[in-house]
Amino acid sequence: MEPTKLTEELVNLLKNRGKQESYSLGDVLIEEGEESDRIFIIEKGFVNVTKKDPMGNDVLIGTAGPGSILGEMGVFMGVERTATVRAVSDLKVITFAKEEFFDVISSIPELSSFLIGILTKRLYNLNRRLINAINSKLMIVMGNYIIDKLRDSSSQGFGDSAKISFDLSTAALETGLDIEKVVTALNNLAKAGVLQDYKLIEEVRESETEGEEKRTVAELNADPQQIKSYLKTISYI
C-alpha cells in the first residue's frame, strides 16, 4: 500500500486549520473495521499499516511518514476502516473530522485538485485488484475442477500429468459458473502455464430427439501438482 502524500506546501496550509495531536510508540490511530470518521495527516514520525489475513494475523501492507494522509478513502467512500494504523515512533499529526475536512477541501482548490488525482489513481488500482481477485477465484474453482477430472481419469495413479477433455456446459453446471467464466478461467490458467495443449473444440452430435446437437469441448494436458502449486500462489490475492 502506498499512502497519499501531501506536498509540504499543502501540509503547511492545513496545519492551522486542523487539530494537532500527539501519539506515542505503539498507539493505534485507526483500527480496521471501525467507522471512518476522521482523517489524519502526519506532521512528524512514522506509522505501520496492517491488515488482518484470513487467519486473523496482522500483515504489514505499508508504512507512512511525514506528509502522508491517512484514512481518506474510508471517509470519502463512506466505508469502514480497511486497515489498522499504528505509531512506530513518537508521532505528531493534524486531524480533521469528516465534515471539517470536506469544508477545507472546498476552500483550498489546490488540495481539491490534488486529492481528486490521487483518488482517481486509487480507484483505478482498486478496480484492477478487484478484477485480479475475481479472476483468481475463477481460476481456483476451475483449477480444482480440473484436478478432480485428472483424479477420475487417472489410470496410472493420481499425480501424473494426463490429458483430459470435458464439455463446457457440463463444467459450468458442475462448478456453478456460467460458460463465459469457465472459458475465462481456462484461458487464464493456460496463460499461467499450468495447462498444456489447451484448446476448445466445437463438436456436432446427432440426437434422436433434437437432431444435430452442438457442444464445445475443452481438451488439455495438465499436472495436478503443478495446478495445486499455482493455486496456492493466487489464493491470497
Report which of 100, 132, 213 is spatially closest to residue 167, judged by C-alpha positions: 213
* pLDDT reported for residue 208: 64
Four-residue CA torsion sign, 99, 102, 107, 108: positive
221 confidence band (pLDDT: 50, 70, 90): very high
Whether residue 217 sits in one domain with residue 141 = yes
In tens, the pLDDT along 119-166 reads 788 778 778 888 888 999 999 999 999 999 998 886 555 567 889 999
Domain end, chosen from 72, 107, 142, is at: 107
DSSP string, 127-158: HHHHHHHHHHHHHHHHHHHHHHHHHHH-SS-B
- List the domain range (segments joined by +) for residue 83: 4-107
Within a domain: residue 120?
no
Contact 200, 183 (CB under 8 A): yes
Do residues 236 and 129 make contact, with C-beta atoms less than 8 angstroms apart? no
84 found inside a domain:
yes
> Taking the mean position of all CA atoms in its chain, how far away is CA 41?
25
Most confident of 47-56, 115-124, 193-202, 203-212: 193-202
Helix (H, G, I), strand (E, B) or coil at 204: strand
User: Quick check: 1 pLDDT over 60?
Assistant: no
Question: pLDDT (tens digit, 9 = 90+) per residue, 55-85?
Answer: 788 889 899 999 999 998 888 888 999 899 9
In a domain, 41, yes or no: yes
C-beta atoms surrounding 194 within 10 Å:
22
How many domains would you assign to the chain?
A: 2
- Concatenated DSSP letters for 9-37? HHHHHHHTTSEEEEE-TT-EEE-TTS---
